[in-house]
Amino acid sequence: MKLVQLVLARIAFYLFVTLVAAFFALPMLWLVLTPFNPRGTLAAEIPSPATVANFRLVFANAFAMRALLNSAILGIGAMLITTLVATLAAYALSRADVPGRDLLIYALILFSSVVTGTAAMVPIFLLIFYLGLIDTLLGVILVLTGGLLPTAIFIMRDFVEGIPRSYEESALVSGATPRQMFQDVVAPLVQPGMMVVAIWAFVHVWGAFLIPFILLRSPTSMPATVAIYSFYTEAGTPIITLTSSYALLFALPVLVLYLLVNWRYGFRFFGGIKR
């Protein structure tokens, strides 16, 4: 009797887990299958016959292709600036005695959600306009970086705090200048943290829509998130075959990035936990 109950409970549990898994897996499956289907459909059906004609059409769209490049420029640019600045700032905030630094960091994080949000859209537009950075990728990179930095600093600071100071002191006594100490000792030790921040920043910018949509005017500088609308009909309905193909292309770099980091670092994302 007990055993039967146990088995039934187990079966019910796995059934439930399977349902939940399917719920999340189905859209992924759709994304992988639909681009190869000659008919655009919202069902995840196995394409027969499979075709690459959709991709041929997508590749022929120069505007959309250029947009992927723009996204890469935005993503890599914001990633580099965010990681570099966050690492230096986190180091300074961790090691120097700034009065009220915790308050400062929390305030920054709070404001950052406002800065990149819709609420600040008008002032940001005006600021970028008067700076002469409207319709430049640099302007978008700066605004996005500004939004990412507080959280990035917060994440990085945890990594920096995890490094015993005696490493740095030992380097200083060994005869290193502060710069040599940072390059030779601190930077390699916080590298896992820098990777976390870099990927996180890249993924954020890669998927950003609103800010590039507002700050960029000419079609040649639009990123992929905006360019996907070029696969809509004039009536505003998506051409499913093409949007799904483009979406798959759009998802690939992020996927590759994750796999790369997994291979190199084995997903040691021990962010907030002090070892």
Partner 1 sequence: MARIMLENVTRRFGPVIAVDNVSLPIIDGEFFALLGPSGCGKTTTLRLIAGLEVPTAGRVHIGDRDVTGLPPRERDVAMVFQDYALYPHMTILDNVGYPLKVRGVGRREIRERVGEVAGFLQIAELLERRPAQLSGGQQQRAAVARAVVHKPQVFLFDEPLSNLDAKLRLEARGFLKHLQHELGITTVYVTHDQAEALALADRIAIMNQGRIIQVGTPLEVYRRPQTTFVAGFIGSPPMNLVPCHMEIGVEAAHLVGTTFRLDLTSLRDRLALTFRDGEEVILGIRPEHLTLCGQGDPFAIPAETYAIQPLGAECVVILLVDNTTISVRLFTGEPPQPAGRVWVALNPERILVYRKSGELVSG
Which residues in this chain contact partner 1 in the complex, by CB under 8 A?
Answer: 164, 166-167, 169-177, 180, 184-185, 188-189
Question: Toward partner 1, which CB reaches closer, 85 or 189?
Answer: 189
Closest distance to partner 1 from the beta carbon of 184 (Å): 7
Question: Toward partner 1, which CB reaches closer, 97 or 234?
Answer: 97
> Helix or strand or coil: residue 274?
coil
Question: Toward partner 1, which CB reaches closer, 2 or 179?
Answer: 179
Closest distance to partner 1 from the beta carbon of 177 (Å): 7
Closest distance to partner 1 from the beta carbon of 103 (Å): 19
Euclidean distance between the first and final Cα of the chain, in Å? 46
For 115, half-sphere exposure in the C-beta direction (CA atoms, 13 angstrom radius) is: 17
Q: Please state, in angstroms and rounded to a whole number, the distance separating the CA atoms of residues 82 and 74.
A: 12
Question: Toward partner 1, which CB reaches closer, 55 or 167?
Answer: 167
Question: Toward partner 1, which CB reaches closer, 118 or 191?
Answer: 191
Q: Where are the beta strands (DSSP E) in the chain?
A: none
Closest distance to partner 1 from the beta carbon of 273 (Å): 18
Closest distance to partner 1 from the beta carbon of 174 (Å): 4
Question: Toward partner 1, which CB reaches closer, 185 or 240?
Answer: 185
Residue 185 in tokens: 């000792």
Closest distance to partner 1 from the beta carbon of 257 (Å): 23
Cis peptide before 49 (omega within 30 of 0): yes
